[in-house]
Structure 1
Amino acid sequence: MKSIRVIAPVVFVCLLAVVHAQSHKGGISGTVFDTTGAVVAAATVVITNIGTDESLALTTTSSGTFSAPLLDPVEYRITVEAPGFKPSVVPKVKVDTATTATVNVTLQLGELTAETTVVAAPPIVPRASGTPGQTITGRQIVEMPLNNRSVLDLA
């Protein structure tokens, strides 16, 4: 009888550990490539639950990989974007319980665009004379208030 009292709790703890190890979650992982087969680092991966429209945004590692563990076992849409590439969408990825779905995405090259803004500024040198400054007439000199009426004060 004493042995049952000792063995029963030990068996219960062992069974509890096995039950706890079972998970009702799944995951998605994968790698992002370009058309040459090279990995794409720092790409944005958005995993969206199709039923609830909840999204999870990830960034690929330097080796082009991404991983989203602990997802509910439903269907997801994956959108991948990176600068210089066209966005890619995987419309339906099914996640099952206790498994990880592997999704590798290949991005197509996009169009490169450059935008330049030119702002006009007034010219520093007047176009009419081509010299900086202005001409002072004799009348302006006479009417100019100066302490000692010296031409050197105008410089």
Structure 2
Amino acid sequence: MIKRLTPWVFLLLLLCIPQSALSQTASITGTVKDSTGAAVPQVKVTTHNRATSASRSTVTDDSGNYRITSLSPGNYDVLIEKPGFKTVEYSLVALTVDHVQNVDATLAPSSVNEKVTVTGES
């Protein structure tokens, strides 16, 4: 009888482990504003993992907020772009397990396609 109960007891114990204990990912979140401080919606935000070359993208909501979850720990480049604004790139954004890294950006207007690169830790 004990042999028949052992798998069920193990499964029950496994279900009791908090989800955060099993998490091996991180997130990047932030707010994008323009030079006047107003939120900028529909801005494309792309993360690029330097080790794996994996990329993930999202767009900001009406309040200029974004969140990219379930990212593997490592160093990332974050590209923030919208037509009519200078592109902003953060290099070497370090993520660790269970970490939420805030990466805010202020976009400056641009009549031509320009890119601003910020190198270093965020």
Q: Do both proteins adopt the same fold according to a TM-score greater than 0.5, normalized to the shorter chain?
A: yes
Matched, 1:101 2:101: yes
Amino acid corresponding to residue 17 of structure 1 in structure 2: L
Q: TM-score, normalised by structure 2?
A: 0.76
Q: CA deviation at 1:36?
A: 1.2
Identity of aligned residues (%): 30
* Structure 1 segment 1-155 matched on structure 2, within 5 A: 9=9, 12=10, 15-19=13-17, 21=19, 22-111=22-111
Q: CA deviation at 1:17?
A: 3.0
Q: Return the structure number with greater relative CO, CA threshold 8 A, min gap 6.
A: 2
The verdict on how the C-alpha distance between 1:76 and 1:41 changes in structure 2, with shifts beyond 3 A counting, is same
CA RMSD in angstroms comes to 2.4
Q: CA deviation at 1:95?
A: 1.2
Moved over 6 A (4+): none
Higher strand share: 2
Q: Give ranges in structure 2 of 5+ residues lacking alignment.
A: 114-122
CA distance in 2, matches of 1:84, 1:50: 28
Q: Secondary structure at the match of 1:85?
A: coil
Counting matched residue pairs gives 107
CA distance in 2, matches of 1:80, 1:112: 16
Q: CA deviation at 1:35?
A: 1.2
Q: TM-score, normalised by structure 1?
A: 0.61
